[in-house]
Structure 1
């Protein structure tokens, strides 16, 4: 749940409500205001700001103000030229649609990148590298999207399995080993099946990497490393899950790339060596053609000293 949403749903006194309404109305304009200035503008005692902060789960006003400004800045950044829910209209031509979808995907990746936190990403990478087995839990299209990640990871000898059998998630979660790591994907962070899975994994002390929306939600709270998805789409009044799917693909590609980079030359040489034996595809384009001289030069360049 976003802080702004929590403000609207929390039970406040009359004085506290006046303060909250002011904060919501002013948005990022409160950045330069002091506690005293805000209190005077809303005709409340400065201690009211502290009470409101604690009711919202923050230690104090500075912590609430910082988090609120970060949230508002995110919501006002990107997506100023395209609507995530209705990226094109009924009257748009083919190339207009193509351009708008391209803009939407580029914007989504930039938006998701802005949500990435170095420490969380580092934690997620270490959990994946240390795991004997990586298990992915999702629902509907999320499990389909994860298949490419699983394939790429298996090609560099990382054991990745996707839970795909309907109704078996709880059993598969219970059967996970303490040295496993699980990736749970839920846009809302409140999917009942995913939360049940997370609770089982927590009881068994199995690390969780969560891919979910911004703000407070159950999956983020249960995750050892929470990577945030672009949070722009409504639940169903939209043309499609464009930004959600693109955001998931991007984050999984980042996780794979970080794991690959840990042993870059070893993984690259491994893929090239296998490809030389098993990839028999033919190409009519010189761009795609493999050159034996180039392969030797490439692998030599990345050979450890």
Structure 2
């Protein structure tokens, strides 16, 4: 749930409601206002701001203000020229549709990148790097992206699987322990089946890495680490879940590459060695052709210390 939605659904006194409406109207302009200035503008006591913050689950006005400004900046950035729900119209020609879809995907990546923070990404990378087993729990719509991620991780000798069978998720959660990491993927952060396994994962002391939309949700709150996907789509009145799928795929690719980078040269040598032994494909395209084996050895050794 977005903070704006939580504000709108919370019961406030008349004085508090007047203040809340002022904040929602001013949006990011409140960044330059002090507590005293906001209180004077709305004819309330300064302590009213603190009471509102407490009602919304924040320790004080500064924390609420910071969270509100961060959300407002996100909601009013990117996607200014394209609609995530209806990215093209019925009158658009084929190439126009193709151009708009390209713009949608580029904007989605930029939008998702803006939600990444160094320390959170570092924590997520370490959870996966140190896990002996990684299990992904998600809905059917996200299975394909998860399968690609799991395949690449297994090639790095990281045991990674997906809980794909409906009704078996609880049993698979019970099979994990404190050396495992569970990846929970849910756009709303309120997926019923995933929420059911949260107590099990907690009991098993399994590390939980979640990928959800922005805002407060059950799954994000119960996770050890949470990455946020682009949050622009309505639930169903849309052409397709393009931005959600693209954002999840991007985040999983980022996680794979950050784990890869922990042992960069070792992992690169391992992939090249497997390719030399098992990949029998051929191509007449110079772009696809592998260099001679002596050049591949140079690639392997190029990052080794002198």
Q: Tell me what 1:152 maps to.
A: 152
Q: Tell me what 2:5 maps to.
A: 5
Tell me if the contact between 1:49 and 1:61 (Cα under 8 Å) persists in the aligned partners: yes
Equivalent residues, number: 305
Structure 1 counterpart SS, 2:183:
strand
Q: Deviations over 1:77-126 (max 9, x none)?
A: 00001101011111111111111111111111111111112111111111
Q: Tell me what 1:114 maps to.
A: 114
Cα distance in structure 2, aligned partners of 1:85 and 1:199: 34
Q: Deviations over 1:237-295 (max 9, x none)?
A: 00001110001001100100011001111000111011011111111200110111431
Q: Tell me what 2:259 maps to.
A: 259
Q: CA deviation at 1:23?
A: 0.5
Query: Structure 2 matches for 1:1-305, cutoff 5 A?
Result: 1-292=1-292, 293-305=294-306
Cα distance in structure 2, aligned partners of 1:261 and 1:196: 34
Q: CA RMSD in A?
A: 1.0
Tell me if the contact between 2:177 and 2:205 (Cα under 8 Å) persists in the aligned partners: no
Which has the larger displacement, 49-58 or 196-205?
Answer: 196-205
Q: CA deviation at 1:166?
A: 1.2
Q: CA deviation at 1:304?
A: 4.5
Gaps of 5+ in 2: none
TM score, norm. by length of structure 2 = 0.98
Tell me if the contact between 1:265 and 1:304 (Cα under 8 Å) persists in the aligned partners: no
Q: Which runs of 4+ in 1 moved over 3 A?
A: none
Tell me if the contact between 1:183 and 1:210 (Cα under 8 Å) persists in the aligned partners: yes
Tell me if the contact between 1:116 and 1:227 (Cα under 8 Å) persists in the aligned partners: yes
Q: CA deviation at 1:178?
A: 2.1
Tell me if the contact between 1:208 and 1:224 (Cα under 8 Å) persists in the aligned partners: yes
Q: CA deviation at 1:202?
A: 1.1
Q: CA deviation at 1:32?
A: 0.9
Cα distance in structure 2, aligned partners of 1:79 and 1:258: 27
Structure 1 counterpart SS, 2:182:
strand
